[in-house]
Amino acid sequence: MNIIKPVIFSLVLSLTPFSVSAENKGKAITQDFGYEYSLDSKVLAESRQYLVHLPESYKDSDKTYPVIYALDGPSHFKHIVSAMKILHANDRMPEAIIVGIPNNPGTRGRDLSRNNDQFLNFLENELVPLIDNQYRTSSVNTLFGHSLAGYFTFHTMLNGSRFTNFIAASPHIIANTSDIKSGLETMIKNNKHTGKSIYFTMADAQGDGVGRVKSVETLSEYLAKEKADGLAWKYQPIDQQEHMTTPYLTAFKGLTYVFTDFQTPMFADVKEFTAKGGMAAVTQHYKDRSKKYGAENKVAQRVIRQIAGLYMDEKKMAKAIELLSKSVNDNPTSMRAHFDLARGYQEKGDTSLAIKFYQQTQKLLQPEHGGFARFITTQLTELESNKS
C-alpha cells in the first residue's frame, strides 16, 4: 500500500459579483477529506486507487468503526463524508470510516456490469480485507452506488458476503430486473436475507425515465408482497430531481435508514414511552448499540432531558425530578445536567432547590458560556427575590 496524496477539496468564495483585484483576492478555503492510496490487484491484474477518510475520534480511541464503501469514489466520497459528520453529530448514525473506490479509465462498464463477479471478488477478497487489516473496523460494512453502480450494489447484496447494508441511488437495473428479482427470491428462500438492509431511490419519470422507474417499482412491489422478515428495505421515490442529483439525497437519507438501530428512540408522550419499555428499554438500546458500534454505553443527557420533559408536560414532577437527579449523579461535572435539574425544581415550585442547583450550575460554567451565565444570574436574582 502506497500513499499517493491527500484528498483536499478547495472552494473559492466570491463575496461580490464584480471582478476582484489581485490585492483583494480572498484566501482559498480548503478541507482535508482524507488520503488516496493504491494497491496492486491480483484479481484485476492492475493497480487500483482508493480513498480513505478516518473519523475525527479515530486517533484518540481504540474502538472499531463501521465502514462505508462508495463506488465511483471521486463523485461521492466528499458528500458522503459530509453526510456522515452531520448525521453523527445529530445521533443519526455512528462515526464511520469512508472508503471511496475510483474507476480506472475505461473500466466502469467492465467492473460494474460485464465482469461484475470479478470486481466483487476484488472488493471482498482484496480491498475489504486490506481495509480491515490497516484500520480498526467492525463487521458492519455498507456499500453505496449510483446508477450502474446502484445495479452493482444490488448484485453485491445478492451474491456477496462481506456487506450488511446497501444504498442504491437511481439503480440502472432496467436490463436486469428479472435477474435481480430471481436473485431476491433465491436469497429469501435460502434465508440469506436476514440482518441485511437496503435503501434505494429513483427520481420521477421525468428525471430518471419511465423504464427505469418501472424496473425499480417492480422490485419494490415484489418485496412488499413477499414480506421478507429479517430484511430491512425501503424504496423512496424522489420528485423534483434528476438522475445525477439523486445520489446526494439518497446518501443522506440512506445512511439514516440503514443505521436506524443506532438512533435513540423518541417518544411523543409518557404513554408511548411506557408502552415501549420505559427506561429499561432505553438503557438496553444503549447497551446494544455500544456492543455493535462501539458507542458509549450510557444514556445521553439529552435523552434524559427529553423523557423528563414528557413527565413535566403531564405535571408528573416527582418522576421528572427522579430522572434529572440521576443524570446529575451520573454526570457530576456536567453544567447542563445541573441546569436541567434546577429548571426541574423551578418548574415544580421548589425555590430553595432550584437556587441550589442554579448556583452549582454557575460553578461549572466556562468562559465561553457568557450569554448563558447572564441567564443563570437573572434566574437566581428572580428566584431569590421571590423567596424573600
- Banded pLDDT at 169 (limits 50, 70, 90): very high
In this prediction, residue 5 carries a pLDDT of 64
| Strands laid side by side in the 65-71 sheet | 2-11, 29-41, 46-53, 97-101, 65-71, 137-146, 165-169, 197-203, 232-238
Checking if the pLDDT of 10 tops 50, the result is: no
CATH of 2-262, one of 3.40.50.1820, 3.90.1280.10, 3.40.309.10, 3.40.50.10490: 3.40.50.1820
Q: For residue 126, what is the DSSP state?
A: I
In this prediction, residue 26 carries a pLDDT of 85
Element (H, E) at 86: helix 73-89
Closest CA to 330 of 273, 322, 369: 322
Q: Average pLDDT of 8-31?
A: 61
In this prediction, residue 270 carries a pLDDT of 97
339-387 pLDDT per residue, tens: 999 999 999 999 999 999 999 999 998 877 778 888 999 999 999 888 7
Rounded alpha-carbon distances, angstroms, from residue 222 to 128, 151, 183, 289: 31, 17, 12, 31
CATH superfamily of 270-387: Tetratricopeptide repeat domain (1.25.40.10)
- Banded pLDDT at 14 (limits 50, 70, 90): very low
Checking if the pLDDT of 15 tops 60, the result is: no
- Asked if the domains at 2-262 and 270-387 fall in one CATH topology, the answer is no
CB neighbour list of residue 190: distance below 8 Å, 6 or more residues apart: none
Record the cell numbers describing residue 142, joined without a space.
455498507
Compute the distance between CA of residue 92 and CA of residue 272 in angstroms, rounded to an integer: 21
Q: Average pLDDT of 92-99?
A: 97
Q: Where are the domains of the chain?
A: 2-262, 270-387
- The gap from C-alpha 279 to its chain's centroid, in whole angstroms, comes to 24
Percent of the chain with pLDDT over 90: 81
Compute the distance between CA of residue 243 and CA of residue 209 in angstroms, rounded to an integer: 9
SS3 55: coil
In this prediction, residue 30 carries a pLDDT of 82
- Banded pLDDT at 82 (limits 50, 70, 90): very high
Q: At residue 222, what is the residue type? A: Y
* Position with higher pLDDT, 20 vs 156: 156
Q: Average pLDDT of 288-302?
A: 91
180-219 pLDDT per residue, tens: 999 999 999 888 899 999 999 999 999 999 999 999 999 9
Burial class (CB in 10 A: 0-12, 13-18, 19+), 374: exposed
In this prediction, residue 22 carries a pLDDT of 59
